[in-house]
Structure 1
Amino acid sequence: MELNRPLAGVPSSGGPPAAPDLGGMLRLAARGDQGAFADLYDATSSRVVGLAVRVVRDPAQAEEVAQEAFLEIWRTAARFDPARGSALAWMLTIVHRRAVDRVRAAEAATRRDTTYHLQNQSVDHDATAEAAQASMEARRVRGALQSLTPVQREALELAYFGGYTHTEVAGMLDLPVGTAKTRIRDGLIRLRDTMGVGGPR
């Protein structure tokens, strides 16, 4: 009889499994390690999407915010400083900022529509500048999309520009959800490289 065998569901004497080293993954991703970024994506995507949903209140919009945030995380991983906080906190700060920007942009669009119909107020200058900046960034990303493989571009365009969730993209392309997520993630990696943002010098 095995007396020393740990009971199911009860941590062994060695304690619970160690948490993934997100900081290490970020440092490797900053040097262009795609495998590390894939591990980082898998380890944090549920937290990232969950935070986005809480802020924007719309699952489809939250998926898009999460994709934009992961693209920014991949492009700016070299800026992570462990002395200033945890890797997860740094990532979620980016997600929160992106989500708040999305909410503010939607509110600004509503205000512009109201103003247009009332025809007695000018469009807010800050909202116009924000929309112009977003438009320029979108054009830049669209240009970079041409560097992707057809299957990556198709999946990323549906997710990034179409606003569809991973599950919806998988259904539209008749793919397993995991395959759709992989194509989107790999597309984000290639976008970052094509847009000319490298690792630390």
Structure 2
Amino acid sequence: MNRTDPGNDLAHLLVESAAGDHSAFARLYDLTSARVYGLVLRILHDRSHAEEVVQESYLRYWQHASEYDPARGSVISWMMTIAHRRSVDRVRSEELHRQRGSQYSTANTAVPPAPVTEPLEQREEAATLRQCLSRLTELQRNSIELSYFSGMTYPEVAAHTATPLPTIKSRIRDGLRSLRTCVKTGEQ
């Protein structure tokens, strides 16, 4: 082993590791783990995730040591590239997990039950409206009911009642004013 060139030393240790030499791989780990861990931690900002990614990276180094090509760069560059890719994959995976969790939470948020007072208030408002409608003239009430409750347009109400359109508009306008005043004051 050439002790003067750390790159050659790492290359030799990787070749030995590819042949199944556990002690060579342990020495490779000792010489490179601080740099690999530092890179991964800078990307992930979480010690436990960084430790997992470093472990996955070293497993990949062990399993794929024979695929290292010295013509494509140094051993440490090869190792750091693998660690970087695994770190980025972890960041993406965690982000996707957070997004899915957020979407699930949003989709499954329970709709709060309607307060007990809402149906009571609605019944009271309906009773007030019925009472106020009964105070209108028959012509006003009939025009409003046809327009608002039957969904007819003003011209359709005019045609249905055989009344001129301006008259229908006046009846509805006057009737709505009376209803608004009656509902606001709550007269029953």
TM-score, structure 2 as length reference: 0.53
Larger Rg: 2
AA at the equivalent of 1:25: L
AA at the equivalent of 1:95: A
Report the identity percentage.
49
Among candidates 22, 33, 36, match of residue 48 of structure 1:
36
SS in 1 for 2:6: coil
Aligned to 1:68: 56
Aligned to 2:84: 96
Q: CA deviation at 1:18?
A: 3.7
User: Which structure dedicates a bigger proportion of its chain to helix?
Assistant: 2
Among candidates 17, 22, 25, match of residue 34 of structure 1:
22
Aligned to 2:94: 106
AA at the equivalent of 1:91: M
Instruction: Map 1:1-201; keep pairs closer than 5 Å.
Output: 17-19=4-6, 21-119=9-107
Aligned to 2:155: none
AA at the equivalent of 1:39: R
Q: Choose between structure 1 and 2 for higher RCO, CA contacts under 8 A separated by at least 6 residues.
A: 1
Deviation by residue 1:3-58 (Cα, 9 ceiling, x = unmatched): xxxxxxxxxxxxx9542511111111011011110110000000010001011011
SS in 2 for 1:32: coil
AA at the equivalent of 1:37: F
Aligned to 1:136: none
Q: CA deviation at 1:117?
A: 1.8
Aligned length: 105
AA at the equivalent of 1:32: G
Structure 2 unaligned regions, length at least 5: 109-188
